[in-house]
Structures are given as C-alpha cells and as structure tokens.
C-alpha cells in the first residue's frame, strides 16, 4: 500500500479522459508500432488487466488508498469470448505472414485440408528446432496474454492457451496436427506469456505524458504485443490516470567478448557476447497472498561471430506458490512449485524444454564483513523436450523428442558495492520418445565474478563449460565438451542481487 501526495482535484481531472492535445498523435504512433512488434522474430520462425489506481475520496484528511495494479474485475458475459477473438487474430496474423509474405506451402489451407486434419489425426512433426522449441512457445505466449489482458488470472488463462494451439493445429496448416507442437505451445506458452505479460505491465504509467508515454506504451507493445494492442483498442494506452504501485524488479545487461574452444584445445573462436537477466518480485514469504509468477527470473544470452550465432539461450523460471520455512534468524527461505522454460543452443548441444517441478530459494546473512549468500535449487520434470542428435535423421529431423528431468543449483556470494561471485550448474536428462532411441545427458557449469565500478556499471569475468553424453541405443556413444571464457561490461538497475 502506498500513499501519494498528489492533489485530489488533479486526480479527478485526469480521470475524466485523454490528453486533449496529444492523444490523437499518440494513438497513431502506437498503431504503427503494432506492426513492427509483429514483424519481430516471432514472424520468422496480459496478467490481469492493469487498471488505473483508484484514490479514496478525501474524508477527514484520510490518505489515498491505492490498489495493486494487477487487481482485476471478475470476467463476465462477453469477457469469456474476447480471448477467443485474440486467438483468431494472432493465428490470422501468423497465417497471413506465412501465406502472403513467405509463401509457405503449409499456409495453403482450405476445407479439404481441415477435413483431412480431423480425419487422419495427430503426428510428430519434423519442423526446424528453433521453430518448435522457441517459436511455438512464443506463439503460445500470445494466446496466454490475450486472456490475461482481458482480465483472466493465471489459471483461468491456461485453457485459452491450449485452445489457441488446437485452433492453429487443426485449421491453420495443411500439415497434420502435431502432438509435440500442442504440448510445447501450451506449456511453454503459459510460462513465456506470463513472464512477458508481467514485464510489459511494469512499463505502464498512466500519469505519464507526451514522449515518455509513447515510449512506455511502445515498450509494452513490443514486449507483449497482444497486451499492448488490447490497450490501444480499449483506450487505456491514451487514458490518463494515477501513478501505479510497482512490484520490485532488477535488470542486468552485459556486452563483451568471449572465446569458445573444445576443452582439450588451446585455440578457440572469438565472439561478441551479450546477456540479459531480470528478477521480478520478491521471493520472501511476508505473509501476504502470493499469486503464480509473483516471483520469476528471466535470462537470455547471445554469442555471435559473423555470419552465425555461436550460442544463444533463453530461460524463464517462476514460482507458482511459496511457503517459508525456518533457516536461521535474519535469513529468508521459501519452497514451492514452479514452472520453467529453457532454450539452449550451444556448440555442444541444443535443447529446448518446458518443465514443471519445485524450487527452493534462500538468502543468508553470514554475519561478518556484510557478506550475503544466496542459494537456489530447481528440480523439474520435463513434459516434453527437444534434444539435437546426429542420429535423429531416422525421423527426418536433426533432433529427438523426449521426456525426462532437469536440475539446477545456484550459489551466489556477494558483498554489496564490492563484488559478486555467482556459480550455477544445469543438468538435463532426456529419454527419447520419438527419434533415435536412447538417453541424452547434458549440462553447463558457469562461474561469474563481477565488480561494480560506477553508477550501476561494472566489469565481469567468467567461464562456462558445456558438456554432453549421448547414449543412443543403436549407435555409437557421443561425448564432447567446450569451454567459453568471457569478459564483459555490465549495467544493472533495481533492487538486491540477481540470482
């Protein structure tokens, strides 16, 4: 709950309508930005509706009472149909790009192709790895955001995410509906869509004006296009209101150089490397209600050497609920169910997974030299994952599909304003369901040491070891490992430490 000193009369004046001198130009600019948002990588390969914060009418000097900007009215009537409209709009946009601009064979749909899909049923498809393991979860995230933007909560939005995937598979392609696409789009879409929806909501400030307002609304549109477009249609993008109550968030950006090489080699390949890490919310159990993804972490990285990416990654992990437990006076520890999405493209392996499991997080004051220790453990079940394999050609793909498990351990030691040492290890296990039968084991181990320099900027050094062991049933064993040595300049903003 937050008190504001803004004049009550000004609040009521703002609530009456849009800015009289700039609303038309603002709306025109945002409509143009919509098309740019849909031309992003999604074409190649909203959390509860944010309401204006309401003020308590002054009565005997009573302070203003603000609502959580993520609160929403219960959907009713036509609200249950609106997300279906967003599904049709989203799938129509993807189909239109594939048909008109890319001339994809699968886009030549008609009554006969739809009837065939229903008559012959489901299969495992052979689409490219980035399309199935990255593109489809992003597309599912748009379905999820359509329901969130209409006012549905996390759980209520899941059926719409599944419905969007079903509508695409059955009606929008000449290819037979795909089992793996339905699972990956639905499960991965919920995770990616929820995280992007909440990040987009962080930018909204209906008390902002002019160029700041355009930038904020354009950012919302770029991060979560359906959410941003919904704000345009409802007029929220140009409606004036009160400042929002923000959830805490931390951001870290980095840029530098790295060198990839096999572990047993001396020479390597130099790359330009960049990364992004965001922590949203606070994991501590303070007794207040906790909704799914009130705490999550999103991380991404790219390592480029002309003319191709040497490595790329995206990870999202969000708590669905939390329960605090005793871990010493002055410390904070929680445990709860979680969902996780991973996309890893490395010189050693490619893996994409959507997982469900449990997470434990702890923060400890070590009691000397102001040192703090953070620790996190994730144990997950892989609902369905893709794993590259040199023997997967038996199913006309370069990767297998399977289920299995995932684990991640993170430890971070920090002295605020002096240094931060971060170590984590990811381990994947996938048992092939469709492809070259066998088991795949892979993972990465990362160390990172950073030193702040000035005003959020700092220097970071580290390395990452990638390793895999492939044990196919009918082919020779595959075993290899690489190391990446990194030197980067970073900038961080926000609260606390970044796990």
* pLDDT tens digits, 43-90: 333 333 333 334 444 444 444 445 455 666 788 889 999 999 999 999
Provide the pLDDT for residue 72.
66
Return the pLDDT at 104: 94
Query: 3-class DSSP state for residue 302?
Result: strand
Q: Determine the number of helices (DSSP H) and then strands (DSSP E) in the chain.
A: 12, 13
Q: Give the pLDDT confidence score for residue 61 in this predicted structure.
A: 44
SS3 label, residue 225: helix
Does 408 have pLDDT greater than 60? Answer: yes
Q: Is 438 left (phi over 0), alpha (psi -120 to 50) or beta?
A: left
What's the CATH number of domain 249-494, 2.40.160.40, 2.60.40.1120, 1.10.10.10, 3.40.50.880?
A: 2.40.160.40
Distant-in-sequence, close-in-space partners of 387: CB < 8 Å, separation ≥ 6: 349, 350, 351, 399, 400, 401, 402, 428, 430, 432, 440, 442
Tokens of 102: 């890319």
User: Does residue 424 register a pLDDT over 90?
Assistant: yes
CA separation (Å) from 165 to 180, 190, 316, 393? Answer: 11, 11, 20, 27
Strands 323-324 and 332-345: antiparallel
What integer pLDDT is reported at residue 246 of this predicted model? 77
**CATH 2.40.160.40-classified regions of the chain:** 249-494
133 has pLDDT over 70: yes
- The first and second tokens of residue 391, run together, are 């023997």
Predicted pLDDT at 71: 67
For the beta carbon of residue 435, count every other beta carbon within 10 angstroms.
Answer: 24
Six token digits for residue 463: 């390395």
Residue 375 pLDDT greater than 80, yes or no: yes
CA distance 236 to 220: 12
pLDDT, averaged across the chain? 86
Find the mean pLDDT for residues 334-341: 98
Task: Give the pLDDT confidence of 164-200 residue by residue, as tens digits.
Answer: 999 999 999 999 999 999 999 999 999 999 999 999 9
Q: What is the pLDDT of residue 385?
A: 95
Q: Cα-flanking dihedrals φ and ψ of residue 131, to 5°? A: -65, -50
| Closest to 158 in 3D by CA, of 138, 133, 188 | 188
- Torsions phi, psi for 148 (to 5 deg): -65, -45
The two three-digit tokens of residue 395, written as one number: 């199913």
* 481 has pLDDT over 60: yes
CA distance 156 to 73: 13
- For residue 14, pLDDT beyond 60: no
Band the pLDDT of 310: cuts 50, 70, 90. Answer: confident
Strands (E), 435-477: 438-454, 457-472
Q: How many CB atoms are located within 10 Å of the residue 202 CB? A: 21
Report the percentage of the chain scoring pLDDT > 70. Answer: 85
pLDDT band at 497 (very low <50, low <70, confident <90, very high): low
């Amino acid at each position: 709950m937050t008190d504001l000193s803004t004049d009550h009369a000004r609040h009521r004046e703002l609530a009456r309508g849009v800015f009289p001198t700039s609303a038309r130009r603002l709306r025109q600019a945002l409509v143009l930005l919509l098309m740019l948002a849909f031309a992003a990588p999604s074409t190649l390969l909203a959390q509860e509706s944010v309401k204006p914060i309401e003020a308590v009418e002054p009565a005997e000097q009573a302070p203003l009472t603000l609502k959580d900007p993520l609160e929403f009215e219960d959907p009713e009537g036509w609200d249950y149909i609106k997300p279906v409209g967003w599904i049709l709009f989203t799938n129509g946009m993807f189909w239109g790009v594939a048909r008109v601009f890319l001339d994809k064979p699968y886009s030549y749909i008609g009554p006969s192709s739809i009837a065939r899909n229903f008559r012959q049923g489901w299969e495992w498809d052979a689409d490219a790895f980035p399309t199935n393991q990255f593109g489809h979860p992003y597309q599912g995230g748009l379905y999820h955001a359509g329901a969130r933007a209409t006012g549905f909560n996390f759980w209520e939005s899941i059926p719409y995410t599944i419905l969007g995937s079903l509508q695409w598979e059955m009606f929008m392609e000449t290819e037979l509906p795909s089992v793996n696409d339905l699972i990956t789009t639905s499960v991965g879409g919920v995770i990616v869509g929820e995280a992007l929806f909440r990040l987009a909501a962080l930018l909204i400030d209906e008390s902002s004006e002019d160029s700041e307002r355009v930038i904020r609304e354009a950012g919302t549109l770029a991060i979560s296009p359906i959410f941003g477009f919904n704000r345009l249609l409802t007029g929220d993008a140009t409606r004036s209101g009160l400042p929002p109550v923000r959830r805490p968030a931390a951001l870290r950006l980095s840029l530098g150089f790295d060198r990839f090489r096999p572990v047993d080699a001396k020479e390597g390949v130099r790359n330009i490397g960049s990364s992004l890490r965001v922590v949203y919310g606070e994991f501590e159990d303070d007794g207040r209600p906790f909704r799914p993804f009130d705490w999550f972490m999103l991380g991404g990285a790219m390592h480029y050497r002309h003319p191709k990416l040497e490595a790329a990654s995206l990870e999202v992990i969000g708590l669905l609920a939390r329960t605090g437990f005793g871990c010493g006076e002055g410390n904070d520890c929680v445990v709860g169910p979680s969902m996780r999405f991973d996309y890893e493209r490395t010189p050693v392996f490619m893996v994409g997974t959507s997982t469900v499991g449990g997470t434990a997080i702890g923060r400890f004051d070590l009691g000397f030299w102001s040192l703090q220790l953070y620790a996190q453990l994730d144990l997950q079940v892989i609902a369905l994952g893709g794993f590259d394999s040199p023997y997967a050609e038996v199913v006309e793909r370069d990767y297998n599909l399977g289920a299995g498990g995932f684990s991640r351990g993170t430890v971070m030691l920090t002295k605020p304003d002096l240094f931060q040492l971060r170590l984590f290890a990811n381990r994947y296990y996938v048992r092939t369901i469709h492809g070259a039968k066998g088991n795949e084991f892979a993972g990465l181990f990362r160390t990172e040491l950073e030193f702040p320099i000035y005003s959020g900027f700092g220097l970071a050094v580290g390395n990452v070891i990638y390793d895999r062991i492939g044990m196919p049933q009918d082919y020779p064993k595959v075993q290899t490992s690489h190391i990446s040595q990194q030197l980067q300049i970073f900038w961080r903003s926000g609260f606390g430490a970044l796990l």
